[in-house]
Amino acid sequence: MTPQPRYGKEEFARRGDEIYERDIRPHVRKLDEGKFVVIDIDTGAYEIDEDELAASDRLLARHSDAQLWVTRVGSRYARRFGLRNGSTVK
């Protein structure tokens, strides 16, 4: 079971983005493009995987009370909702 959030949405996002940009992004490789990065915003520990759940499970196994922030290498967002590339519904 994932612990209850200890921070508001804005603080969660600020911490997650800051850790990613400062500590993780300089170390990701071209091969990591599109993979999920799951970060514990309290400790800075993280996992990278193509499978978001696998990365989350590994991080929670190491830090059971982790406050998880998820992002994707090469994207501002972990997930995309709605239509892409100007597609239309027919």
pLDDT tens profile 33-85: 999 999 999 999 999 999 999 999 999 999 999 999 999 998 766 765 555 55
Residues 6+ apart with CB under 8 A from 1: none
Report in angstroms the alpha-carbon separations of 58 from 62, 66, 76: 7, 11, 23
Residues 8, 56: Cα–Cα separation, whole Å: 20
pLDDT tens profile 16-36: 999 999 999 999 999 999 999
Please report the DSSP string for 2-22 in residue order. Answer: PPPP-S-HHHHHHHHHHHIII
**How high is the pLDDT of residue 17?**
94
**How high is the pLDDT of residue 6?**
87
**How high is the pLDDT of residue 80?**
55
**How high is the pLDDT of residue 67?**
94
